[in-house]
């Protein structure tokens, strides 16, 4: 069986939202599993000594416009999030803690959180909001409460960030397949090309 596609992303990344649906489709097309690996992009950038792009006013203005343009390009619903940038550490902890017990529910959670933030204006940095969204995919409030504050989710997210730094992740989304790294939702066509035998 071929190695999976590693899909590194931040729940607070609009470009991850734009890419998420297509990366699963591309994986299925080429018989590759897709490993969803939520990370904290700000922590990865800090480890690499790279400034967060939205910290620079001119880049922030460009990106806010580009998010709306990209949503239209990908044909996806989009409403500017309630706050951006935002730390998605609670969402990441929740994902990894749930994955330890039920990978399918963790997968469903990840696929719910992205549109909740980028199309429905839910605040995914808020514990009560996460509890409500988790309940939609069958995660009990008691499990969510433990996941948000307990050691399992915290350790899982820390390990994912460390792995991303080691792997050379430089942005969200970042796809790693057969040792090749591709950064950005606009690299999806190139990902398909690479999996189809490009560069061989």
Q: Which two tokens stand for residue 124?
A: 């995914």
**Residue tagged active-site, from 13, 88, 125, 172:** 13
Residues paired with residue 176 on neighbouring β-strands, in sequence order: 6, 181
Residues paired with residue 35 on neighbouring β-strands, in sequence order: 6
Composition of the chain by helix, strand, coil, percent to 5: 60, 10, 30
Secondary element (H or E) of residue 9: strand 5-9
CA distance 66 to 186: 12
Question: What is residue 94's three-state secondary structure?
Answer: helix
**Distant-in-sequence, close-in-space partners of 4: CB < 8 Å, separation ≥ 6:** 27, 32, 33, 34, 35, 177
Let me know if 13 is a catalytic residue.
yes
Is 120 within 8 Å of 79 (Cβ atoms)?
yes
Task: Identify which of 177, 172, 175 has the alpha carbon closest to the alpha carbon of residue 188.
Answer: 175
- The residues annotated as belonging to the active site are 13
């Amino acid at each position: 069986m071929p190695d999976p596609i590693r899909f590194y992303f931040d729940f607070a990344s609009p470009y991850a939202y734009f890419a998420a649906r297509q990366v699963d489709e591309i994986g299925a097309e080429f018989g590759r599993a897709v490993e969803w690996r939520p990370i904290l992009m700000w922590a990865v950038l800090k480890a690499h000594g790279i400034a967060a792009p939205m910290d620079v006013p001119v880049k922030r203005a460009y990106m806010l416009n580009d998010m709306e343009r990209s949503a239209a390009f990908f044909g996806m619903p989009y409403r500017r999030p309630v706050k951006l940038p935002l730390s998605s550490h609670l969402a990441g902890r929740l994902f990894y803690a749930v994955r330890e017990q039920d990978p399918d529910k963790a997968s469903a959670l990840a696929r719910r959180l992205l549109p909740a933030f980028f199309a429905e204006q839910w605040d995914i940095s808020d514990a009560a909001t996460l509890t409500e969204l988790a309940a939609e995919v069958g995660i009990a409030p008691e499990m969510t409460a433990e996941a948000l504050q307990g050691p399992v989710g915290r350790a899982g997210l820390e390990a994912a960030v460390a792995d991303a730094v080691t792997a050379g992740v430089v942005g969200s989304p970042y796809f790693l397949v057969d040792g090749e790294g591709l950064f950005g939702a606009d690299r999806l066509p190139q990902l398909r090309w690479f999996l189809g035998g490009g560069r061989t």
